[in-house]
Amino acid sequence: MKYSGWPEPGELVVGDVDEIADFGVFVDLDEYEEKRGLCHISEVASGWIKNVRDHVREGQTVVAKVLDVDESANQIDLSIKDVNEHQRKDKIQDWKNSQKADNWMLIALGEDVDDDRYTEVANALLVEYDSLYDAFEAAAISGEEALEDVDVDEDALDAVVEAARDNVSVPYVDVTGYVDLESMGSDGVDDVKAALEAAEGNGEVPDGVDLEVGYVGSPEYRIKVRAPDYKTAEDQLEAAAARARTSIEGAGGAGEFHRERREDDE
């Protein structure tokens, strides 16, 4: 979806080089409806420029900084040279994410959805999330729970969740830790089994997190966690180990959590 308004000075925009002249470059702005900017030759690249075509080509996608906007003159002044490589990469990624999210919205609401309905749902999602992409990613991870505070009708929410789960590739991270569990009591085997079951969560592991407990070599067991981000993964790993220790120590045994596998088990 393209914006119908105007960009703000200082904003980074994505556009396609539409025309190259001796005095500069005309850029069609991909994020705004029927908006075109001019990057003067002095703003194309640092230093003296002999030929603009040595630096840009027609059809090239560029990231530019908005220097000035004159709505009455229908003029947008741009600078390509004021955008560093880090800014360019981040902006291009945001733009690609925005295009993906727009496509997911059309999948959820239908290709023939009218502008008012699209805007209604999009604005409701943007109240709770920084971008539509973030909203769809959260819905793919946590389902309806991620959208419970979004103020829009249930049909739209269900459609967004379904589209998210069918189309969004969720980034996951994996972390691994180890826990030593020992019990010298007559029910030691059962005590360890109960501690492992406690580590697995007993229903306490949140949606979007996978937790697996496996045997390494007595008394050592491996805990593997897959989650959407490192903080969540680390928190769930530590919580699993804590549950195991609480269980085994409550039965009179001993538990110890460590991040690396014991050398004598290699």
Domains 12-83 and 173-265 share a fold: no
Buried b (16+ CB within 10 A) or exposed e, 36-51: bbbbebebbeeeebee
Say which CATH class 173-265 falls into. alpha beta
What secondary structure letter does DSSP report for 145? G
Query: Which structure tokens are listed for 152?
Result: 């829009």
CA angle, 129 then 130 then 136, to 5°: 55
Cα gap 78→27, rounded to integer Å: 9
The confidence score (pLDDT) of residue 12 equals: 97
pLDDT tens string 191-225: 999 999 999 987 778 888 899 999 998 899 999 99
pLDDT tens string 16-27: 999 999 999 999
Say what the pTM is: 0.63
| Among the listed residues 206, 196, 191, the one whose alpha carbon sits nearest the alpha carbon of residue 240 | 196
Residues 165-178: what's their mean pLDDT?
Answer: 86
Query: Looking at the predicted structure, is the pLDDT value of residue 266 above 50?
Result: no
N-terminal to C-terminal alpha carbon distance within the chain: 55
Query: Looking at the predicted structure, is the pLDDT value of residue 61 above 70?
Result: yes
Using pLDDT thresholds of 50, 70 and 90, give the confidence band for residue 73: very high
The confidence score (pLDDT) of residue 186 equals: 80
Using pLDDT thresholds of 50, 70 and 90, give the confidence band for residue 263: low
The confidence score (pLDDT) of residue 259 equals: 83
The residue ranges of every structural domain in the chain are 12-83, 108-167, 173-265
Residues 83-97: what's their mean pLDDT?
Answer: 95
Residues 6+ apart with CB under 8 A from 243: 195, 198, 199, 201, 202, 204
The confidence score (pLDDT) of residue 264 equals: 54
Give the CATH architecture of domain 12-83. Beta Barrel (2.40)
Other beta carbons within 10 angstroms of residue 199's beta carbon come to: 27
Phi-psi region of 33 (alpha: psi -120 to 50; beta: other; left: phi over 0): beta
Residues 74-95: what's their mean pLDDT?
Answer: 95
Residues 232-246: what's their mean pLDDT?
Answer: 92
Length of the chain, in residues: 266
Mean pLDDT for the chain?
Answer: 91
